[in-house]
Amino acid sequence: MSRLELVVQSATAVTAVPDEARLRGWLETAAAEVDCGGELTVRLVDESESKALNGRFRRRDAPTNVLAFPFEPPPGWGEWAEGPILGDIVICAPLVAVQAREQGKSAEAHWAHLAVHGLLHLVGYDHESDAAAAAAMEACEQRILAVLGFADPYAERST
């Protein structure tokens, strides 16, 4: 099950962002690799919104590159929904550009990585709980990004 219903919201002044078709391609590939599907929203934001969300939900007073908000059905949620709701991915467009330059990778590769990273969080992957979970998530990211034709985003750490 890898069919995605995708909504892309742009709330950023940055114009060098991937279009919906590019985001959809990356996310559909990732969804197929982890056998999931459903509805999700990707919101592209500036640093102020990223910082506010990061502060409210993670108690961190700084913008971050990607946040994922898995959907949690409210009490009494019935089976009337048409399909699973995965949740929301929020990507901070200005940070993507800065980090791509700092890491010596293309902006497109970094955008793809962050989109995949966010989707994996929505389906339960975690890199903060323990080293084994982080390694599993990174391996999955590496596999998906290779399918998409991108280099290992963690390769520079081993040099």
Condensed to tens digits (0 to 9), the pLDDT of residues 51-96 reads 999 999 999 999 999 999 999 877 776 655 556 889 999 999 999 9
Q: What is the pLDDT of residue 76?
A: 73
pLDDT in tens, 119-150: 999 999 988 888 998 999 999 999 999 999 99
Q: What is the pLDDT of residue 122?
A: 95
Give me the CATH topology for the region 4-158.
Collagenase (Catalytic Domain) (3.40.390)
Q: What is the pLDDT of residue 78?
A: 64
pLDDT in tens, 13-53: 999 999 999 999 999 999 999 999 999 999 999 999 999 99
Q: Residue 48 is encoded by which pair of tokens?
A: 């102020």
Q: What is the pLDDT of residue 84?
A: 86
Segments making up each domain of the chain, as ranges: 4-158
Distance CA 126, CA 117 (A): 10
What separation in angstroms does the CA of 19 have from each of 10, 25, 95, 108, 134? 10, 10, 17, 11, 29
Distance CA 92, CA 43 (A): 9
Distance CA 129, CA 127 (A): 6
